[in-house]
Amino acid sequence: MQTRTLGTGLDVSALGFGCMGLSFGYGPATDRTEAVALIRHAVDLGVTFFDTAEVYAPFINEEIVGEALAPVRDRVVIATKFGFDIDPETGQMRSGGMPLNSRPEHIRRAVDGMLRRLRTDRIDLLYQHRVDPEVPIEDVAGTVKDLIQEGKVLHFGLSEAGVRTIRRAHAEQPVAALQSEYSLWWREPEEKILPVLEELGIGFVPFSPLGKGFLTGKIDVTTTFAENDFRNTVPRFDPENRKANLALVDLLRRIADEKGATPAQIALAWLLARKPWIVPIPGTTKRHRLEENVAAADLTLTPGDLQEIEEALARIEIHGARYPESAQRMIDR
């Protein structure tokens, strides 16, 4: 697989692997042995960039990633995230909901736990998972800068951060990558975020590049989700919104048929064509879907294809918010 560079020197595969869904967010967790095998298969397919976070089924996801990648640690890039107030002893949130905590002392404790769970002596890319309004971003960036000087962290990242926060953080410690949602059905980053990333030389890592599964074409109005699948709370997945949003899937399916590809591959190839410093991180729990996603890195969309998509998108209205209101409040603007 081809590689891309995030920031000024973090080389990764053009497509990464978002590991969250193996243990968190999308229904029942994958059997641990199967999850480890899937991650290792991704390595065999050329994926070198793996994304996790301490909050994903607190600590379990990092443990799975650590186990899977330990034999190939020097061949891969591991990204993880801090930023929620998790008790390091119990793995439970310290108070109700999902409280934020990016105080310097908490970051340091979090990183020590990450290193242990990930079975490594350094974190290649450490993100602040959500911007903490109670902690100046300069204090966060300064703490990560110290951790970089100590060799525990190699690169600094932000997630769902707004333009002002990005600029302030980057002035204190260069930001290698911003991770935020971006796909054919969520294009908000194009307005303000992508221009500032290009200006500052910061890479972009889109999560949910397949619209939380919707852009694969495998979800329709009759689809039901497991009780603990967070899509049950997402307005965009309300049945009426799903029905309206199938127009986008129909577009992807038509273009995919013309290219001998799948809707998911078109969605990923579209992202890869946007900028050379964009690295999507699709996730999956299935081996054949992993292989399908990886194959998208070899799919080229012509300028004509991209123009066709753009013109068709202009006629499609996407219905529903991408997050419930409680989650929206944690997005930095």
For the cut 80, the answer to whether the pLDDT of residue 62 exceeds it is yes
- Residues 8-17: what's their mean pLDDT? 97
Closest to 126 measured CA to CA, from 227, 54, 32, 61: 54
For the cut 90, the answer to whether the pLDDT of residue 19 exceeds it is yes
* Torsion sign across C-alpha atoms 244, 18, 130, 7: negative
SS3 138: helix
d(CA 143, CA 150): 11
Residue 188 token pair: 């908000």
d(CA 136, CA 139): 5
For the cut 80, the answer to whether the pLDDT of residue 303 exceeds it is yes
Q: Is 98 left (phi over 0), alpha (psi -120 to 50) or beta?
A: beta
Q: For 270-289, how does the pLDDT look when each residue is reduced to its tens digit (9 = 90+)?
A: 999 999 999 999 999 999 99
For the cut 80, the answer to whether the pLDDT of residue 97 exceeds it is no
Going along the chain from its start, the domains and CATH numbers come out as 3-328 (3.20.20.100)
Q: For 103-149, how does the pLDDT look when each residue is reduced to its tens digit (9 = 90+)?
A: 999 999 999 999 999 999 999 999 999 999 999 999 999 999 999 99
User: What integer pLDDT is reported at residue 90 of this predicted model?
Assistant: 85
SS3 87: coil
User: What integer pLDDT is reported at residue 330 of this predicted model?
Assistant: 81
Query: Of the ranges 47-51, 132-136, 150-154, 328-332, which one carries the lowest mean pLDDT score?
Result: 328-332
d(CA 59, CA 61): 6
User: What integer pLDDT is reported at residue 83 of this predicted model?
Assistant: 97
d(CA 175, CA 201): 9
Band (pLDDT 50/70/90 cuts) for residue 88 is confident
In what helix (H) or strand (E) does residue 17 lie, and over which residues does it extend? strand 17-18
Residue of 26, 56, 127, 182 marked active site: 56
Contact predicate 190/24, CB 8 Å: no
Residue type, 118: L
- Residues 21-50: what's their mean pLDDT? 97
Q: For 315-331, how does the pLDDT look when each residue is reduced to its tens digit (9 = 90+)?
A: 999 999 998 888 888 88
Neighbours of 91 (CB within 10 A): 14
CA distances from 123 to 120, 145, 265, 266 (A): 7, 13, 30, 32
Mean pLDDT of the chain: 96
Burial of 73 (0-12, 13-18, 19+ CB in 10 A): middle
- Residues 241-257: what's their mean pLDDT? 96
| φ/ψ (deg, to 5) at 179 | -110, 120
User: What integer pLDDT is reported at residue 230 of this predicted model?
Assistant: 93
User: What integer pLDDT is reported at residue 75 of this predicted model?
Assistant: 98
**Residue 56 annotated among the catalytic residues of the structure:** yes
Neighbours of 7 (CB within 10 A): 21
Dihedral, CA atoms, 46, 52, 57, 61, nearest 10 degrees?
50
For the cut 80, the answer to whether the pLDDT of residue 96 exceeds it is no
Contact predicate 61/106, CB 8 Å: no
For the cut 90, the answer to whether the pLDDT of residue 202 exceeds it is yes
For the cut 80, the answer to whether the pLDDT of residue 333 exceeds it is no
Q: For 216-239, how does the pLDDT look when each residue is reduced to its tens digit (9 = 90+)?
A: 999 999 999 999 999 999 999 999
Closest to 105 measured CA to CA, from 122, 89, 82: 82
What is the percentage of the chain residues whose pLDDT exceeds 90? 93
Q: For 164-194, how does the pLDDT look when each residue is reduced to its tens digit (9 = 90+)?
A: 999 999 999 999 999 999 999 999 999 999 9
